[in-house]
Amino acid sequence: MFSRYKKADAGAARPATTPQGQDTPVPVPMPKAAPAKPAPADKERKRKERLGELKVELHKRLLENLNLSALEHAEEKELRAEIQAIAAEALEELGIVLNKEDRQQLNQELYDEVVGLGPLEPLLKDESINDILVNGPKQIFVERGGKLTPTDITFKDERHLLRIIDKIVSAVGRRVDESNPYVDARLADGSRFNAMVPPIAVDGSLVSIRKFKKDKLGIEDLVKFGAFTDEMAAYLQAAVATRLNIVVSGGTGSGKTTTLNALSSFIDNSERILTIEDTAELQLQQTHVGRMESRPPNVEGKGAVTQRDCLKNALRMRPDRIIVGETRGEEVIDMLQAMNTGHDGSMTTIHANNARDAVSRLENMVAMAGIEMPLKAVRSQIASAVNLIVQASRLQDGSRRMVSITELTGMEGEVISMQEVFRYERLGLAPDGKIIGRFTATGVRSHYSERFRQWGYDLPASLFEPNRGT
């Protein structure tokens, strides 16, 4: 059934020699005619397949022998010892001998199957990975440093992948099947999880995990990483402290939530902050923070709590500021109302490619909410509610930059007037594919300079001079 895994013979094929006393030499075969040796990659693939099959068999035995109800209270050391004992007994019974490395790998994978998320466990533990993307059982990608790369990790088959998905969603009281083929959930460590299963997912279940960052990145960290400059940070500190309403705009994976987290560090510790999210990701450092998370409907289609429900309720809870993780639907009405009615300093994120697009998105969301208002009235509402749009972007080399800071200054006729204060200028491309660019002020003095001064933030005029950034 299974055989001992032996290393490939390292000896090279020897050329034929001419027998003694024979005039005509034996032709030496050309390299292409030499007996084909299994490629190392092929042997490694077969080794992994055998280990995978063995793991499935041993996992069945573990389920039969382990007291699953006691797993929650078992210490890791005891559980590992129990798994190793059951696995060793099964290997002996099957007559299979493994080398030390394969045995250790098998025991670790069995442990991950029992208490963790199977093949995904090592990826979840890898601090350098930001996103895990599964396209069916045999194709898993990860994102490191803004770049997607394939991994050699696989599930045995679709049933194996579905079992891990079910393990995740059942832990948070959700379900996913043919009648309910997609689900959002949050892992125990706070990572965001989304899955879609067949028949909607045509070639196997699709899974996306946005990993929760344990380290809180502050403004200084982002400046050090080159996301923006000290001058931009000084401006943003004044903007947050003087309670301007801020929208962080950007595409998927551009760093919107990270930027929002960093901006929140400028909020005074005495203020009451309420956060509203679909999946709780914000990591605010203040002491007075009330966190809310929306909830999808249950299997009967009841019990849903939307972001709009949370936002309406938040307005009755005496907040100084409201932070909405992402505005994407009808909650935009209540968000704009909150910004316009005394909850200055509120913040949210939105999916858009630039500041003007962000305003258009807000207009469209108001229209989709079913509110019949003249376009000019909608724009007037937005112009008076939103003071600042911060545009985050992930560039093609994987780096994340704050590419624009734009102020909304009012209305000119039926158009919202805007002025860009800082921008990122791309200058070229380095031989290694890295983007060469610089941050610069545009030369336009802030519309809110007087407000900053009245609050004690007297920003020098030199801050807004062009070409200060690098």
Give the whole-angstrom CA distance, residue 271 versus residue 221. 24
Model confidence band, residue 5 (pLDDT cutoffs 50, 70, 90): very low
Pairwise CA distance, residues 314 & 165, whole Å: 33
Residue 122, pLDDT above cutoff 50: yes
Q: What proportion of the chain, given as a percentage, has pLDDT over 70? A: 85
| pLDDT value for 3 | 31
Mean pLDDT estimate for the chain:
83
Comparing 291 with 89, which gets the higher pLDDT?
291
Grouping H, G, I as helix, E, B as strand and the rest as coil, residue 141 is strand
The reported pLDDT for the residue numbered 382 is 94
Of the chain, the percentage scoring pLDDT greater than 90 comes to 37
What average pLDDT does range 110-124 have in this prediction? 82
Place of tokens 């344990």: 214
Same fold, 117-213 and 219-464: no
The pLDDT of residue 118 is 83
What pLDDT score was predicted for residue 342?
Answer: 76
The residue type at 441: A
* pLDDT of res. 296: 79
Separation between Cα atoms, residue 404 and residue 392, nearest integer Å: 7
Residue 377 has pLDDT above 80, yes or no: yes
- The 10s digit of each residue's pLDDT in 199-231 is 999 999 999 998 877 777 778 888 888 899 999
**pLDDT, mean of residues 292-298:** 83
The Cα 470–Cα 467 span in angstroms is 8
> What is the arithmetic mean of pLDDT over 412-427?
94
Cα–Cα distance measured from residue 145 to residue 399, given in angstroms and rounded to the nearest whole number: 7
Q: Counting every residue, how long is the chain?
A: 470
Task: Evaluate if residue 2 carries a pLDDT over 60.
Answer: no
- Cross-strand partners of 273: 289, 321
Q: Which residues contact 394 (CB under 8 A, 6 or more apart)?
A: 146, 250, 251, 253, 254, 255, 400
The per-residue pLDDT for range 161-197, each reduced to its tens digit, is 998 898 888 877 778 888 889 888 888 888 889 999 9
Q: How far apart are CA 220 and CA 419, in angstroms?
A: 26
- pLDDT bucket at 39, cuts 50 / 70 / 90: low
Is the peptide bond between 19 and the residue preceding it cis, with omega within 30 degrees of 0? Answer: no
Which residue did the predictor score with more confidence, 408 or 104? Answer: 408
Q: Is the pLDDT of residue 278 over 90?
A: no
Confidence of residue 233 (pLDDT cuts 50, 70, 90): very high
- pLDDT over threshold 80, residue 40: no
**Which CATH code is given to the segment(s) 219-464?**
3.40.50.300
Query: How many alpha carbons lie under 13 Å from residue 36 in its C-beta half-sphere?
Result: 4
- Check whether 120 has a pLDDT greater than 60: yes
Q: Please, how many CA atoms are within 13 Å of residue 42, restricted to the half-sphere of its CB?
A: 5
Q: Is residue 334 predicted with pLDDT exceeding 60?
A: yes
pLDDT score for 418: 96
How many Å apart are CA 143 and CA 141, to the nearest integer?
7
Q: What is the pLDDT of residues 356-376, one digit of tens each?
A: 999 999 999 998 888 788 999
Domain ranges of the chain: 49-64+71-115, 117-213, 219-464
For residue 6, what pLDDT is reported? 30
The CATH number of domain 117-213, selected from 3.30.450.370, 3.40.50.10710, 1.10.287.3510, 3.30.70.100: 3.30.450.370
Reported as a pLDDT band with limits 50, 70 and 90, residue 23 is low
314 pLDDT above the threshold of 60: yes
Average pLDDT over residues 459-464: 92
Question: Which of 297 and 20 is assigned the larger pLDDT?
Answer: 297
- The answer to whether residue 82 scores a pLDDT higher than 70 is yes
Sole residue written with tokens 């600042």: 388
Q: Is the pTM of this model over 0.95?
A: no
User: What's the pLDDT band for 157 if we cut at 50, 70, 90?
Assistant: confident
pLDDT tens-digit map of 244-256: 999 999 998 888 9
Element (H, E) at 149: strand 147-150
Quote the pLDDT of residue 28. 53
DSSP labels for 314-361?
HTTS--SEEEES---STHHHHHHHHHHTT-TT-EEEEE-SSHHHHHHH
Residues 136-163: what's their mean pLDDT?
89
Q: 411 pLDDT exceeds 90?
A: yes
- pLDDT of 10 higher than 50: no
